[in-house]
Amino acid sequence: MLGTKYPLEYEITLDDMTTRPEGSQWYIVRLRNISKTLLLDLEVQLVFMDGQEVVENEKQTFGSLGPDEPRTMRFLVHAPVTNEVYLNVFGRERKSYFYWNSPLKAVEGVVHAEQQAKTPSRLDKMNEKLLSELELAKVNLHQRQNEAIAKIETLEKKALKDRERVKSKIAAREAEIEKKEEEGNETFDRWLDGKGDADSA
């Protein structure tokens, strides 16, 4: 599988010629810098679609990759059940760090029959795990919805109490003002009555 995605040209192939432990597979990764700048502090990771394969030397690093310079790496994978893989590359171009990943593709080659035979059970387990996670997510969502409803109801009750408290304070203040006005009017009336009596005398 040969592909290009700036700033790298990449190829992932299977190596069926090199001696390997039973049930394992060597993957060969070739990179070439197609940019015109020096790439530095590179870290290359081989990633499988289902994420269950064990890659012995999962990450490989090297200091630099010059323009048009190739680099070959070998990854030993134990019990591979799929050929669908992609690459993650971290590195630095001039003063900026970058993250690069290749598209998910199937590598041409043979995956061992005994590993292929395990695929259905592996997929069943993955499906069971996904269903379990989905049910858990539904429960968590329902719980969060209930918590949100309870919180809203609490806030509404608090707001209602606050409104009633404010209304009560306003009513008490209005009553106080009205009482003072009445007292003021009574005082003024008495003053007027007293003044009238004095004028008559």
Which two tokens mark 198? 């004095």
Using the 8-state DSSP alphabet, how is residue 107 labeled?
P
Which two tokens mark 8? 């790298």
Please state which of the ranges 55-64, 108-117, 118-127, 186-195 shows the lowest mean pLDDT: 108-117
Please state which of the ranges 15-29, 124-138, 179-193 shows the lowest mean pLDDT: 124-138
Band of the pLDDT at 36, cuts 50, 70, 90? very high
* Collapsed DSSP state (helix, strand, coil) of residue 72: strand
Residue 35 near residue 7 (C-beta atoms within 8 A): yes
Distance CA 15, CA 197 (A): 125
Say which residue the tokens 């069943």 belong to. 124
Q: Which of 98, 97, 100 is nearest to 10 (CA)?
A: 100
Mean pLDDT over 144-148 rounds to: 82
Distance CA 169, CA 186 (A): 26
Greater model confidence, 4 or 186: 4
CA angle (78 as vertex; 72, 84 as ends), nearest 5: 65
Highest mean pLDDT among 113-117, 178-182, 184-188, 191-195: 178-182
| Residue 49 burial by Cβ neighbours in a 10 Å radius (0-12, 13-18, 19+) | middle
* Domain 2-110 falls under CATH 2.60.40.1230: yes
Greater model confidence, 107 or 162: 162
Helix (H) or strand (E) holding 54: strand 54-55
Domain ranges of the chain: 2-110, 118-201
